[in-house]
Amino acid sequence: MTKWIYAFGDGAAEGNAEMKELLGGKGANLAEMASLGLPVPPGFTITTEACTHFTDTDDGFPDGFEAEVKAALGRIEKALGRGFGSSETPLLVSVRSGSRASMPGMMDTVLNLGLSDSTVEALARNSGDERFAYDSYRRFIQMYGNVVLGVEHHNFEDILEDYKDDHGYGLDIELTADDWKQVVAAYLAVVEETLDQPFPQEPNDQLWGAIGAVFGSWMNSRAVAYRRIHSIPADWGTAVNVQAMVFGNMGEDCATGVCFTRNPSTGENTFFGEFLVNAQGEDVVAGIRTPQALTEAERETTGSSLPSMEVLMPDIYAELVDVRERLEHHYQDLQDMEFTVQQNKLWMLQTRTGKRTAKAALKIACDMVDEGMFDKSSAIMHVDAAQLDQLLHPTLDPEAERKLLGRGLPSSPGAATGHVVFNADDAEARVANGERVILVRVETSPEDINGMHVSEGILTTRGGMTSHAAVVARGMGIPCVSGAGDLRVDHSAKTLIATGCTVSEGDVITIDGSTGEVLEGVVATTQPELTGDFARLMEWVDEVRTMGVRANAETPKDAATARSFGAEGIGLSRTEHMFFDPDRIVHMREMILAKDVDHRRAALDKLLPYQRQDFQELFDIMEGLPVTIRLLDPPLNEFLPRTEEELREIAEAAGTDMAAVKYRRAELDESNPMLGHRGCRLGITYPEIYEMQARAIFEAAAEVAKAGRGVAPEVMIPLVIDRPEFDALKAVVDRVAAEVQVAKGIEFSYLVGTMIELPRACLMAGEIAETAEFFSFGTNDLTQTTYGFSRDDAGTFLKIYYQQGVLSSDPFMTIDRNGVGELVRIGVERGRARQPDLKMGICGEHGGDPESVRFCQEVGLNYVSCSPYRVPIAKLAAAQAAVAQTGG
C-alpha cells in the first residue's frame, strides 16, 4: 500500500532531505532538521503523489488516506499533549504547500487552523492573551475564508476598515480583544452570507478543506505562470505540510524571522537575517513592516535604529548561530531559514537552499572550496549557470553623472534603465511595443509575476531584502531595489514622488540593484569586470568541461566580445546579416531581382568585395580559431524592397526597367517562406550565390594565410535534406577552394559541413555524414518543423498553451527533449555510426540555455555555440553537465 504521510518532530522523522520529489523541498528539509535534533514543531507531510492522485483523477483523496491523516494528527496531539478541536488545550496547525522546487508565495497556505468559536476560548485561556486569541481567529477566518472558501479579501478588509473608522482607530494594534470579537462575528457573518452556509466550526472539516485547497492551488494560474517561467513540470505536484502552530505574535518575547547562513547578496561569510518582534512569519516575507537586522554588524551597515536580535534576544541569537553552523555544514550550501520565537523558545520552521545573487554564488562557491567544504567540481555545481547572466551585463559607470531620486535596499544586483510603469499589465503592454521598462510598485505580489519577468528592473517602496520583489527578482536575475521608503508611489495618478521631483509613467529612470540607488534618466554604464571569483570559477570550468563553446557572431564587434568572454571559435556566422548595410542591400536586392544568371552574377560581383572584407576581419579577430560560416539561408524575400523608391533604386543599379523588377518581386512572394525557397535550396537553384560566398571566404582565407597567420574556415551548408543535395553544393565549394588556392598560390585547410535542422536531415544523418566534415544542429528550425510552429506566428497561441498547461515550457528557449531532442539524438547516432569522429555542434538559441547545454553533453556533441554574452553561461553549463555525466 502506498504510504501517503510522513511524520516528523521530536528529534526524529520518517522522511529525509533526499526525498524532495515525494515530500517537496519544505517537507524533506523539515524531516531532515527534525532528524538533526533541531527544534522543529511536530507535524507531517502529505506526499506529492497524493496531490497527483488528487489532480489527475476525479476520485478526490486516495484510499486509506483519511486514516493515515488521522493517525499522524494523533501523533502531533500526543507529542504536544494537545487535542485537535479540544476546548481545553486545542492543537492549532498550519497547512502549507511545499513542492519539489521552491515556488515562493505561489501557492496557498492556511495558518491557525483548528480555531473555532469554542477553541478560541481555550487558546485565550492557554495563552493568557484574549486579544491574541481573537486576533488569530480573525486572521484564520480571513485566510481560510479566502483560500479555501473563495470569499474575496475585500469582504474582510471592508469590515475591518469600517470598524476602525466607526471606532476612530488608526492601526490594527489599537483594537482590543472585544473589538476583535466583534470583527470575528462580522467575519463569520459575511462568510455565511456569501456562501449561504456557516463557517466550518469542526477542525476536521477545516483540515480537509485546507488540504484540498492546497492541492488545488497547484493548478492555479499564478502557479502555472511561475512553473512556465521556471520550467517546472506540472506533474510534479505539491506536498502539503501540516504542522503544529507556533506563534511569533504572542507578545514581546515572541518574534519571527528569516535568515541566511551567509549574505545572499554579496556572498560574504557573515550571518544575515531579518526579524520582527511579535509578528507572524508572513509579515516578514510580505514586507508589511520593515524588519530589524539579525546581527549588530548588519544593523550598523544599514543604519537601522531598531535593535538587532543579537542585542535584543542574545540567547535565542546564540542558539540560532549554532543552528546556522549545523545546517550549513550539514547541507554544504547556503541555507535560507525561517524561524519563530514563541515565548523565548526558538522554533525552526524551514530551511532550504538559499537563493543568491550570481556574485554571491561565485563568492560562496570559491570560499567553500577555500574552507575545504568541497572541491572544485562541487563549486561548479553550486553556481546557477543561467544566473551568471547577471554578471555579464554592464553596470553603472562610477564616473557617470547621476541625479539621485532616492535610495532603497540593494536586493538584486545590476543596473537597469527603462520607462517607468506602475503595474504588471502596463509593463507587458509596453514591452510588447518594444520598450524597456522599470516596474515600480509599493510592493509586489505573485500576481505581478508576468510583469516582473518582462521588466528590466524592479523598484518597490516597501519591503526588505527577503520581500517578494527581492526574492523573485534575484531568481530571475533582474536588478531590484526594494523598500525605497523615501519614494512614494501614487498608483492612481501613476506617479513616483521623490523629494522635489515627480516621475510620471513613461519617464526614464535607472536603478542600481547593487547599491540600492534610484536615479533620474539614463546613466552611463561600464562593462563588467570578469576577474576575481568569476575568473577563478571559469578556470575550474575550463578544466572540467569536455564540450567546446563557440559564439554566434557576424560583426567584428561581436567577434571581439565573444573572444573576451572566452569563445573558442565562431560556431555560426550568418552571412545574410552582412547584407543589410545600406551600401550592400541595394546590390543584394539587385542580385535577388536579377532576371537571369548573368545579371545575378553581375550583382554578386559587386557583393564579393564586401563579403571578403567581412570574412577577413573575422578571421583576423579569431586568430586561427575555427570560424563557421553559414552560406545564404533566409528566403530571398526577406531582403526584398517594399517601397516604389527602393524598387526604382534597384532597377537603376541593375540597369533594367521597373516592370521587370516588379514582376520578379511578385514572383518571389511565398505563402510560407520558412518552408520555401531558402537555405541550400538557393544554392542548388542559384549556385552562383554560393560560389560567390565561397570565393569571398577562400580569398579572405588566402590573404590571412599569406600573411602567415592562422585561419580555419568551416563552410556550412544550411537546411540540407539529404546527401545528394549536400554533395552537389560541397562540389561547388570545393571547386572554388581549389581555384582560389591555385590563383592565390597558397594552400589553406578548410572544412565543408552542414546544418542539421530538418527532421529529414536528422533521419538521413548517416548518409550525410559520409561526405560532410561537420554537423551543426540548428535546433531553432528543427523545433519549428518538428512542432509545426512558426516562431514568428506561434506567440498568438503559445501563451494560451502555457496558461492551460498544455505546454509547460517554451521549446524555442529550452530544447524539447522528447521530440526535437530525439531527432538530434538520432542525427548524432547515425552520423557517428558512419563517421565516428565527426565533429558535431549546436548553434542557435539553445546553445546558450543551460538545460539545453546539458542535453548537448548527454548526446555527445563536441561544442555548443551561443550569443557572445552567453559564452560564460554555456561554459559553466557545459562544465556542470560534464560533472553530472561523470556522476561528480
Binding piece for a second copy, criterion CB under 8 A, among 72-80, 460-468, 783-791, 867-875 = 783-791
Write down the least CB distance from residue 591 to a second copy, Å.
Answer: 17
Element spanning 438, H or E: strand 437-441
The whole-angstrom distance between residue 616's C-alpha and the CA centroid of its chain comes to 38
The yes or no reply on residue 670 touching a second copy (CB under 8 A) is yes
762 classed as catalytic: no
Out of 332, 493, 793, 885, name the contact with a second copy by CB under 8 A.
793
Out of 655, 672, 708, 745, name the contact with a second copy by CB under 8 A.
672
In the three-class reduction of DSSP (H, G, I as helix; E, B as strand; rest coil), residue 533 is classed as helix
From the list 453, 468, 587, 846, the catalytic residue is: 468
272 vs 686 by CB, closer to a second copy:
686
577 classed as catalytic: no
Residue in the structure block whose three cell numbers are 534610484: 518
Binding piece for a second copy, criterion CB under 8 A, among 159-167, 331-339, 365-373, 793-801 = 793-801
Residue in the structure block whose three cell numbers are 510603469: 421
Write down the least CB distance from residue 840 to a second copy, Å.
Answer: 20
Residues near 434 by beta carbon (within 8 Å), at least 6 away in sequence? none
Out of 141, 629, 719, 874, name the contact with a second copy by CB under 8 A.
719
Closest-CA residue to 835 (of 749, 754, 774): 774
Out of 806, 833, 885, 886, name the contact with a second copy by CB under 8 A.
806
Beta strands 570-574 and 548-552 are: parallel
Out of 6, 84, 789, 855, name the contact with a second copy by CB under 8 A.
789
Write down the least CB distance from residue 779 to a second copy, Å.
Answer: 13
- Kindly list the strands in the beta sheet with 501-504, ordered across the sheet, starting from the edge strand earlier in the chain: 488-490, 495-498, 501-504
Instruction: Please state, in angstroms and rounded to a whole number, the distance separating the CA atoms of residues 385 and 647.
Output: 48
Write down the least CB distance from residue 169 to a second copy, Å.
Answer: 45
The yes or no reply on residue 634 touching a second copy (CB under 8 A) is no
Write down the least CB distance from residue 776 to a second copy, Å.
Answer: 16
Out of 169, 208, 787, 869, name the contact with a second copy by CB under 8 A.
787
Out of 101, 219, 660, 721, name the contact with a second copy by CB under 8 A.
721
Cα distances (Å, whole numbers) of residue 271 to 268, 304, 440, 735? 9, 17, 30, 68
Instruction: Please state, in angstroms and rounded to a whole number, the distance separating the CA atoms of residues 24 and 28.
Output: 6
Write down the least CB distance from residue 771 to a second copy, Å.
Answer: 13
The yes or no reply on residue 633 touching a second copy (CB under 8 A) is no
Write down the least CB distance from residue 818 to a second copy, Å.
Answer: 6
Cβ(403)–Cβ(519) below 8 Å: yes
The yes or no reply on residue 676 touching a second copy (CB under 8 A) is yes
Cα distances (Å, whole numbers) of residue 62 to 55, 59, 242, 755, 852? 11, 7, 17, 51, 37
The yes or no reply on residue 801 touching a second copy (CB under 8 A) is yes
The yes or no reply on residue 816 touching a second copy (CB under 8 A) is yes
The yes or no reply on residue 492 touching a second copy (CB under 8 A) is no
Burial class of residue 666 (count of CB atoms within 10 Å of its CB; 0-12, 13-18, 19+): exposed
The yes or no reply on residue 809 touching a second copy (CB under 8 A) is no
Residue 17 DSSP one-character state: G
104 vs 805 by CB, closer to a second copy:
805
From the list 843, 846, 856, 866, the catalytic residue is: 843
Cβ(740)–Cβ(691) below 8 Å: no
Residues near 632 by beta carbon (within 8 Å), at least 6 away in sequence? 575, 576, 682, 683, 689, 690, 693
The yes or no reply on residue 671 touching a second copy (CB under 8 A) is yes
Binding piece for a second copy, criterion CB under 8 A, among 163-171, 185-193, 236-244, 667-675 = 667-675
Binding piece for a second copy, criterion CB under 8 A, among 493-501, 510-518, 644-652, 802-810 = 802-810
Instruction: Please state, in angstroms and rounded to a whole number, the distance separating the CA atoms of residues 595 and 226.
Output: 54
The yes or no reply on residue 428 touching a second copy (CB under 8 A) is no
Burial 177-206 (b: 16+ CB within 10 A, else e): eebbbbbbebbbebbeeeeeeebbeebeeb
The whole-angstrom distance between residue 249's C-alpha and the CA centroid of its chain comes to 35
CA atoms within 13 A on the CB side of 721: 9
Write down the least CB distance from residue 797 to a second copy, Å.
Answer: 5
The yes or no reply on residue 677 touching a second copy (CB under 8 A) is yes
57 vs 796 by CB, closer to a second copy:
796
Closest-CA residue to 260 (of 248, 275, 250): 275
The count of other CB atoms within 10 Å of the CB of residue 360 is: 25
Out of 431, 459, 702, 820, name the contact with a second copy by CB under 8 A.
820
**Total residues belonging to the chain:** 888
Q: State the cell numbers at 482.
A: 526594494
Question: Interaction with a second copy in 745-774: which residues (CB under 8 A)?
Answer: 757-760, 763-764
Binding piece for a second copy, criterion CB under 8 A, among 12-20, 72-80, 262-270, 814-822 = 814-822
Write down the least CB distance from residue 841 to a second copy, Å.
Answer: 20
User: Which residues are designated catalytic?
Assistant: 468, 843
Residues near a second copy (CB under 8 A) are: 670-677, 679, 681, 684-685, 719, 721-722, 724-725, 728, 757-760, 763-764, 781, 784-790, 792-794, 796-797, 800-801, 804-807, 816, 818-820, 822-823
